Amino acid sequence: MRSSTSLRTRLALLIALLIASMSWIFGAFISKDFSARLRDSAGFELAELAYQMGDRLDRDMAGRAEVMEVMAELGVMRQPEAREQQARIIDQLQISMGELAWLGLLGSDGTVQVASQRILEGANIAQRPVYQQGKDGMFIGDVHEAVLLASLLPNPSGETMKFVDISLPIESDEGELLGVLAAHLSWAWAEEVSRSLLNPAQQRRNVEFFVLSAEGTVLLGPKGWVGESLAPLLQDKIGGRGANRRVVEWAGPQPGAFLTGIASADGHADYPGLGWTIVARQPLEVADEPARELQRDIVIAGSALAVIFAFVGWLASSHLTRPLQQIARAADKLADGKPAEIPVIRGVRELEILSSSIRHLVEALGRQENRLGEMSELAMTDRLTGLANRSGFEHYLRKHDQNSPMALLFLDLDGFKQVNDQLGHAAGDELLKLVAERLRSKVREGDLLVRLGGDEFVMVLNIRPEELEITARQIAARTLSALGTPMLIAGEETKVGCSIGGAFWPADGQTTEEVLAKADRALYKAKGSGKHQAVFTTDV
């Protein structure tokens, strides 16, 4: 009796140890793999958020500059006798543009003739950059404080007010300087942009934005960070339109490890930008929380199974030892990463339950790993169009045979902004889906279609060397024709078209980044030459 009890106890302990070990080993392996994939996916999302923030700021700045240019062209702004009408126009513009803190019309000598809310009227600001730079052409100044203006404007928050300057000359038909139109944009507008980009889920995950000057000084950031230098973050930042992501140990007001995404604000259209860098960060412990939860769940489930099956084993008799040893050997192989299958035990219900449950556990862990692969695939797919996204594009290029030639077609829609503005963002999304469908019909098996973001697409064409350029041009022509055909959006016939820049690998660069950059420049050439056309590197 004493011997029988000892065998049961040992059997129960063996089963408990076996199940717990499998759970811990598989839990640790899956958690580590999931954590790496999760960081890569979350890091790419942060880099995308940083890029969107920079693009939004540049687009807004470019839009404000266009409004100023239109206003400067108004005939009434050239008429000194029309001060009352000028004042009404300036006041109305300030009301309609909430971020416009001050707008003024300066005389040719720098004296403020008309200003919003009559602030600074009669003052001479000829020594200020808005006049000195603005009288010679369009001037957009970086973020700065303006002590005099801040003292005259309402400031409910009590925080230091900062502004961005825009000014440009007003000239007669003969080119004579008549005055300068100058504006101070409230920098609080950038904070509104950052809040609008963060959805509630991202806010709960403690995602934060930083806007850095060209020298790395924080222009916009969480409390306590403004004015701090983050220049080390810029040292190995990918230039141009690229973005990178990595884990960074931060010092300063809030030290710690953060998952960080970095992107450059490179301007928009004719606006060259001010050299800003956008940083989005998330505490590493927050980013890794799903991986820790997964590991904890696996360990808990494994521990629960260990207790359950230890009890079943305790009830088993000595003649069950051999099939249990078979199960243990197979489980040990699985734990060592070797191929094996848990045997199916027949005849004894408890052993059948044990073997079946362990098989289900192994299958569940396998399905979990498959789901991780599916999550990785989703992280490389654009949710709106179903095309590859920037992460998928980078993954494709890493896997690409360096000896195999290809053509890169860089597409940018013409007139997409007008559709968004006139019909709304939902219509804009529907338009992007239709564009993706039409582009799919133009690529072939083995090619890749990518949505980089916004209304920018890339077609990666794998073509035989002797047909590379002629086939790429044919596909570009068919694409122009397809996108030039009107589409029915929100019940209205809409036509956008596109411009294409083409480059070839490896003829146009040693790396795919160089080739893509040349395709981007060719696209810029196509835009500047009248839009709705394809320009290849061999054309310029």
48 and 14 share a domain?
Answer: no
> Under a CB-based contact definition with an 8 Å cutoff, are residues 143 and 164 in contact?
yes
In a domain, 173, yes or no: yes
In a domain, 95, yes or no: yes
CATH number of the domain at 234, please: 3.30.450.20
Q: Is residue 215 part of a domain?
A: yes
**Based on the domain organization, do 428 and 520 belong to the same domain?**
yes
Domain count, the chain: 4
The overall pTM is greater than 0.95: no
Instruction: Tally Cβ neighbours within 10 Å of residue 296.
Output: 12
Q: Are residues 87 and 165 in the same domain?
A: yes
> Which domain range does residue 277 map to?
38-52+191-288
Q: Domain ends where: 378, 406, 432? A: 378
Say if residue 139 is in the same domain as residue 173.
Answer: yes
pLDDT at site 212:
85
CA dihedral in degrees (399, 407, 40, 339; nearest 10)?
-20
Give the per-residue pLDDT at 371.
62
Q: List, by residue number, the catalytic residues.
A: 455
Residue ending a domain, among 288, 304, 330, is 288
The reply to whether 57 falls in a domain is no
* Co-location of 467 and 456 in the same domain: yes
Which of 32, 55, 40, 31 is CA-nearest to residue 259?
40
Same-domain status, 534 and 398: yes
Is 119 inside any structural domain?
Answer: yes
Whether 412 is covered by a domain: the verdict is: yes
Domain's final residue, options 236, 264, 288: 288
Q: Residue 384: inside a domain, yes or no?
A: no
For residues 304 and 271, membership in a common domain is answered with no
Residues 531, 446 within the same domain: yes
The token pair that represents 434 in the structure block: 């239709």
Domain for residue 227, yes or no?
A: yes
Outline where DSSP puts E strands in 172-272: 177-186, 208-212, 218-220, 243-250, 256-264
pLDDT at 204: 67
CATH number of the domain within which 429 lies: 3.30.70.270
- Per the listing, tokens 């100044």 go with 141
Phi-psi region of 240 (alpha: psi -120 to 50; beta: other; left: phi over 0): left
| pLDDT for the residue numbered 287 | 78
pLDDT average per 10 residues of sequence, the chain (540 residues): 50 68 68 72 82 86 87 87 89 84 89 89 89 90 75 67 87 88 84 76 75 85 83 64 68 82 84 85 82 72 68 58 66 67 66 69 62 59 89 83 86 88 87 91 88 91 90 93 87 87 90 88 91 88
216 secondary structure, DSSP code: S
Q: Are residues 310 and 405 in the same domain?
A: no
Same domain, 82 and 179: yes
- Is there a single domain that holds both residue 157 and residue 237? no
Q: Check whether residue 448 and residue 458 sit in a common domain.
A: yes
